[in-house]
């Protein structure tokens, strides 16, 4: 009886997922990327339909639509890269100055030089191993060996793209600025291992699941509020009654400012000045 050994690629070595930003909508078009995001707790919403049945909404397919908060989390955690759409690229080109183009040329020249040095180093190591194996003088693998080092676009790595992207200053668009306000609450729930989906159908920002939505019923309808915001009695009653009527709990969360630590040398104290506080509201007596 023979046994087969399967080899799996570690998550750390996996290529980052690609998110395409089209009209301010983060979309994932590759099936492997959608599977990878699912393993990270990012579910998304399938939006693809067949041309023969454009109005059906039960059996959707790729592309996978993500929330802006999910895109921010994936990029900050190093799991994905964002590829802007055509309209966004045109806006960026309109803002690029001659100085930016010069920086891009310098970055590309530095990358090309580094790539050449890396290939030459690998060739020298290979030559040393061959000399040792053949037990021959080094001049037998003489200086006449031609080494072709292609510099085609497929040799441009993700790090090069990141360097070039960092060299271009692009203002934050309005849709991203609005998501930054709610992102701390999203990250807090994500760190608690909740799966999140858009909560518009239940009047919330998110609907939180304790696990994969295919296995669990959602527990929370989540809304983000300001710490000093007056929620209002009608909103409080409406949120509690609605959530209890659909067998959920209404959760409201906000960033609370914490008093600054005096005489502290910890450089991370600035990040500790805010904490996320959540309250749950459940309407009793029915449901």
What pLDDT does 174 receive?
63
What pLDDT does 255 receive?
87
7 belongs to the catalytic site:
no
Tens of pLDDT, residues 169-193: 344 556 677 788 899 999 999 999 9
Tens of pLDDT, residues 15-66: 899 999 888 899 999 999 999 999 999 999 999 988 787 777 778 889 999 9
Percentage with pLDDT > 70 across the chain: 72
Q: Which residue among 114, 161, 217, 272 is the active-site one? A: 217
- Distance, in Å, from the CA atom of 254 to the CA atom of 69, rounded to the nearest integer, reads 16
Are the CB atoms for 35 and 212 separated by under 8 Å? no
Question: What torsion do the CA atoms of 152, 169, 74, 30 make, to the nearest 10 degrees?
Answer: -40
Of 152-166, 202-216, 224-238, 270-284, the poorest mean pLDDT is in: 152-166
* pLDDT tier, 119 (very low <50, low <70, confident <90, very high otherwise): confident
Q: How many CB atoms lie within 10 A of CB 212?
A: 11
Average pLDDT, whole number, for the chain?
78
The DSSP 8-state label assigned to residue 261 in this structure reads P
12-46 exposure pattern, b = at least 16 Cβ within 10 A, e = fewer: eeeeebebebeeeebbbeeeebbebbeebbbbbeb
* φ, ψ for residue 64, nearest 5 deg: -95, 125
195 belongs to the catalytic site:
no
Task: Select from 256, 248, 255, 254 the least CA-distant residue to 197.
Answer: 248
217 belongs to the catalytic site:
yes
Sign of torsion over alpha carbons 18, 19, 23, 24: negative
* pLDDT tier, 259 (very low <50, low <70, confident <90, very high otherwise): low
What pLDDT does 24 receive?
84
Residue 142 has pLDDT above 60, yes or no: no
Residue 70 has pLDDT above 90, yes or no: yes
Collect all residues with Cβ–Cβ distance below 8 Å to 28 and sequence separation of at least 6.
Answer: 17, 18, 19, 20, 34, 37, 44, 62, 63, 64, 66
Residue 151 has pLDDT above 50, yes or no: no
As to burial, measured by CB atoms within 10 angstroms (0-12 exposed, 13-18 middle, 19+ buried), residue 239 is buried
Q: What's this model's pTM, rounded to 2 decimal places? A: 0.66
Percentage with pLDDT > 90 across the chain: 39
Tens of pLDDT, residues 236-252: 999 999 999 999 999 99
142-168 mean pLDDT: 43
Three-class DSSP category at 165: helix
* Distances in whole angstroms, Cα of residue 40 to Cα of each of 19, 44, 133, 193: 15, 11, 46, 10
Alpha-helical segments (H) within 135-263: 158-166, 174-191, 233-245
94-122 mean pLDDT: 84
Structure tokens that stand for 157 in this block: 């790595």
Entry field: residues in the chain: 287
More confident residue, 284 or 227: 227
């Amino acid at each position: 009886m023979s046994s087969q050994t399967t080899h799996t690629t570690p998550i750390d070595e996996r290529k980052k997922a690609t998110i395409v930003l089209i009209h301010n909508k983060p979309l994932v078009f590759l099936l492997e990327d959608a599977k990878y995001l699912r393993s990270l707790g990012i579910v998304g919403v399938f939006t693809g339909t067949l041309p023969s049945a454009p109005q059906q909404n039960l059996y959707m397919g790729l592309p996978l639509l993500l929330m802006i908060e999910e895109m921010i989390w994936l990029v900050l955690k190093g799991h994905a890269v964002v590829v802007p759409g055509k309209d966004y690229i045109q806006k960026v080109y309109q803002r690029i100055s001659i100085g930016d183009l010069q920086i891009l040329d310098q970055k590309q020249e530095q990358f090309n030089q580094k790539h050449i040095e890396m290939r030459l180093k690998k060739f020298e190591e290979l030559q040393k191993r061959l000399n040792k194996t053949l037990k021959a003088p080094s001049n037998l693998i003489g200086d006449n060996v031609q080494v072709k080092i292609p510099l085609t676009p497929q040799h441009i790595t993700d790090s090069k793209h990141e360097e070039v992207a960092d060299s271009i200053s692009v203002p934050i668009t309005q849709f991203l600025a609005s998501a930054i306000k709610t992102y701390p609450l999203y990250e807090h729930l994500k760190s608690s291992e909740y799966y999140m989906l858009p909560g518009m159908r239940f009047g919330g920002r998110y609907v939180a699941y304790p696990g994969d939505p295919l296995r669990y019923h959602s527990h929370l309808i989540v809304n983000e509020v300001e710490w000093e915001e007056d929620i209002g009695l009608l909103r409080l009653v409406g949120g509690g009654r609605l959530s209890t009527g659909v067998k959920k709990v209404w959760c409201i969360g906000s960033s609370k400012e914490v008093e600054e630590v005096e005489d502290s040398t910890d450089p991370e104290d600035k990040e500790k000045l805010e904490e996320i506080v959540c309250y749950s509201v459940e309407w009793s007596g029915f449901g």
